[in-house]
Chains A and B, each alone.
Chain A
Amino acid sequence: MSASTDDLHVFPRTVERPIAPVWHRHARDAVQQGLIAALTIVLGLILPAALFALWWTAAERHWIAEQILPPPAFVWDSIKYVLETGELLDHIKFSASRVAWSLLIGGSAGLILGFGMALSRSFKAYVFPTFDVLAQLPVLGWIPLLIIFVGIEEPLKITAVSIAVVVPVALSTLHGIANIPQSLLEVGRVYQFDAFQVIHRIVLPAAAPSLFTGLRQGVMQAWLSVIFVELLSSSEGLGFLMAYSRSLGQIDMVIVAMLAIGVVGILIELTLRLIESRLQGWRRSAF
């Protein structure tokens, strides 16, 4: 004869842990997460703090001449000064606008090239070999020639940086579209999509990750090239600020410009990541 589970002699009740109310559990989790986050931040700050201490000591003890590596206090003063006068913002605007224009021009050109080469085999046959060879040549190489033909003003900078953007965008567009699985295209055929619908509903979404990677690389190349061009020849912009400050022995301003470049770089990276996660979210929901 089987016993019922209510029979305490057969199934003694073990002492049960009282279950905490729900909000207790959430609070505990939150505190744990908070602690972990705080610890991560602290750990991440150790190396920068150490480097800063090294910098400070090197300046204090004059291991390196102050004309070459100014003390942190000096750099801090310059940061304040340049923020007050708004000078830094002006230079940032110049560099940023060059990057923006070049992304527009170079990005569009790259997309068109990439699409063209992916969708039309004959176009690719004509264009790709030349493109491949030219892509190997670093943009910087072009610049002395460009200076002669395009001059030294804005057109030079935008042309040079656009060239830097075209290559990664075109290549990743080509790659992204060429790698669309046939099955997806077949679905389009089954549904009898017209060209526009094929592109809009199949090609773009499927190639989006590659396109995005290309955009990312394009942005990075643009930023790289704009600083180079400005260092070489310019009268405004962050690269110019560095070169000019240096010729006046103001290395602290050079460091300020470097920090500004880093900050802008971080902002761009964060923006791209935001856009990317938005895109990812949309993609997931599409399936």
Chain B
Amino acid sequence: MKRRSFNATLLAGLGAPALIGLSGQARAAGKPTAIRIGFPGAGTGGRPLPTSGYPANAVFRSEIEQEFASEGIKVEWKYFVGAGPALNESFANGLLDFAFGHGDLPLLVGRSTGLKHKVLMSAGRGSDVYFVSPANSPAKTIADLKGKTLSVQKGTATQLQLYRVLAKYGFNDPEKEFRIISQIRDDQVASLSTGDIAGALLSPFGLEARGVAKRVAEIFDDPDISAPSTVWVGEAFEQQYPDIVQRVVTRLVKVAHWSTQEANRETQYQLWTRSGVNTYIDNKKSWDRVKDLRTRLNPLLDDYYVAAIKKSIDEAKKYRLIRREVSLDGWIERKYLNKALADLKLENYWPTQDASGKFTRT
């Protein structure tokens, strides 16, 4: 009897994850009971809130909930301290339907390990990138830090960003020319304070105010350094509920449109403090330089988006972060975005960029 119960427990233990995975996908045809949307990242201390961008606005303004409230479809938001990689795992376990704002590296890694999703729109592009060092560091430029210890959350888009920044300053084999360790954002701040690391890519404003760190390099909206982030949907969900997908996309485009109105700029600065990661001043300093909000809060899947993803794939291969080929075939699904833009008469609203990032239409 003991043997049977033991074996039963063993089988049950192994079966549980399978059941969890299966149950997520077995839904009544027609309408799902809930839509599960993931953000790669969480607020300070794991707070379940997104940081910034137009998908975040959708959360703060309950846009998606409103869209589906009348049909009784719940919206579940999931936030991952483990960032992009953790989001991939959750999706692999069948616990997610959409991702809002997945960074390029984890997105590619996911696809290279066989995750099946479809790219719907871009979640945003461009950003101001800051390389900070401890306040009392003697370094004046990144070149001074050669051989020192840098920190980045590996597996996230920031890792590729760091490599690009270092390459810009002439370091083409960063893992050999520096010692790069992996830490989550909050630990990086702590290590900067104690001087255990010599540099990291972090928002500098709060750190400078507290006398913890100083800027050693800053780059603003450089299309080579910052890659766009992505909104995607799981293939299974898309096949089952294409109408829901369309409504989500259309709603997001509406939110994006709202976000690009100058009148709403201040409101957003406030909304984006809720995660605790950035203060109002941080947001103001980061975004006041953006004359036209449409250049960043941009959902288009234009030439630049495609070129940037291709470039990221090449970089990921070069730095041996992915082991299998990633092809773009059948991955980018434009029809939902195009329909949304047509329905909302916003086809020419956003600026487009060509493969090198140059604006072809403003």
Direct chain A–B contact by Cβ atoms under 8 Å: yes
CB-CB contacts of B181-211 with A at 8 A, as 1s and 0s?
1110001001100101100000000000000
Asked whether B94 lies within 8 Å of A65 as measured between CB atoms, the reply is: yes
Of B113, B156, B183, which one neighbours A67 at CB under 8 angstroms?
B113
- In the complex, whether B17 has a CB less than 8 A from a CB of chain A is yes
Taken together as a complex, chains A and B put the C-alpha atoms of A65 and B21 apart, in Å, by: 8
- In the complex, whether A35 has a CB less than 8 A from a CB of chain B is no
Chain A interface SS verdict (over half): loop
CB-CB contacts of A224-261 with B at 8 A, as 1s and 0s?
00000000011100000001101111100000000000
Q: A67-B114, A153-B196, A247-B156 are in contact. List 9 more A-B contacts (CB 8 A).
A: A58-B14, A152-B196, A233-B183, A235-B181, A243-B182, A247-B85, A247-B154, A248-B321, A250-B323
Given A54-B14, A249-B109, A249-B112, A234 and B321 contact (CB-CB distance below 8 Å): no
List 17 A-B residue pairs with CB atoms under 8 Å apart, sorted by A's residue number.
A54-B14, A58-B14, A64-B18, A65-B92, A67-B88, A68-B17, A68-B89, A68-B93, A147-B190, A148-B190, A153-B196, A235-B182, A247-B85, A248-B155, A248-B321, A249-B85, A249-B112
Asked whether A234 lies within 8 Å of B181 as measured between CB atoms, the reply is: yes
In angstroms, how far is the closest chain A Cβ from the Cβ of B314? 17
- In the complex, whether B110 has a CB less than 8 A from a CB of chain A is yes
Given A233-B187, A247-B182, A249-B85, A68 and B154 contact (CB-CB distance below 8 Å): no
For B85, B113, B190, which residue has the most chain A Cβ atoms within 10 angstroms? Answer: B113
- In the complex, whether B179 has a CB less than 8 A from a CB of chain A is yes
- In the complex, whether B180 has a CB less than 8 A from a CB of chain A is yes
Q: Of all chain A residues, which has the CB nearest B86?
A: A247
In angstroms, how far is the closest chain A Cβ from the Cβ of B110? 6
Asked whether A244 lies within 8 Å of B154 as measured between CB atoms, the reply is: yes
Taken together as a complex, chains A and B put the C-alpha atoms of A66 and B324 apart, in Å, by: 14
Asked whether B85 lies within 8 Å of A152 as measured between CB atoms, the reply is: no
In angstroms, how far is the closest chain A Cβ from the Cβ of B154? 5
Chain A positions 59-85 with a Cβ under 8 Å from a chain B Cβ: 63-68
Asked whether B196 lies within 8 Å of A63 as measured between CB atoms, the reply is: no
Asked whether B88 lies within 8 Å of A152 as measured between CB atoms, the reply is: no
Taken together as a complex, chains A and B put the C-alpha atoms of A63 and B94 apart, in Å, by: 11
Asked whether B17 lies within 8 Å of A64 as measured between CB atoms, the reply is: yes
- In the complex, whether A151 has a CB less than 8 A from a CB of chain B is yes
Tally chain B residues at the interface, Cβ within 8 Å.
Answer: 36
In angstroms, how far is the closest chain A Cβ from the Cβ of B289? 32
In angstroms, how far is the closest chain B Cβ from the Cβ of A157? 13
Note all chain B residues with C-beta closer than 8 A to A247.
82, 85, 153-156, 182
Note all chain B residues with C-beta closer than 8 A to A250.
113, 323
Taken together as a complex, chains A and B put the C-alpha atoms of A248 and B21 apart, in Å, by: 21
Note all chain A residues with C-beta closer than 8 A to B88.
67, 249
Note all chain A residues with C-beta closer than 8 A to B94.
65
In angstroms, how far is the closest chain B Cβ from the Cβ of A17? 43
- In the complex, whether B59 has a CB less than 8 A from a CB of chain A is no
- In the complex, whether B142 has a CB less than 8 A from a CB of chain A is no
Asked whether A248 lies within 8 Å of B109 as measured between CB atoms, the reply is: yes
Taken together as a complex, chains A and B put the C-alpha atoms of A152 and B188 apart, in Å, by: 11
Chain B positions 312-343 with a Cβ under 8 Å from a chain A Cβ: 321-323
Taken together as a complex, chains A and B put the C-alpha atoms of A233 and B89 apart, in Å, by: 21
Chain B positions 76-121 with a Cβ under 8 Å from a chain A Cβ: 82, 85, 88-89, 92-94, 109-110, 112-115
In angstroms, how far is the closest chain B Cβ from the Cβ of A86? 15
In angstroms, how far is the closest chain A Cβ from the Cβ of B28? 23
Taken together as a complex, chains A and B put the C-alpha atoms of A153 and B197 apart, in Å, by: 10
Note all chain A residues with C-beta closer than 8 A to B15.
63
Q: Of all chain A residues, which has the CB nearest B155?
A: A247
Chain B positions 114-145 with a Cβ under 8 Å from a chain A Cβ: 114-115
In angstroms, how far is the closest chain A Cβ from the Cβ of B212? 14
Note all chain A residues with C-beta closer than 8 A to B109.
248-249
Given A54-B14, A152-B196, A249-B109, A64 and B21 contact (CB-CB distance below 8 Å): yes
Given A247-B85, A248-B109, A249-B109, A152 and B114 contact (CB-CB distance below 8 Å): no
For B14, B180, B183, which residue has the most chain A Cβ atoms within 10 angstroms? Answer: B14
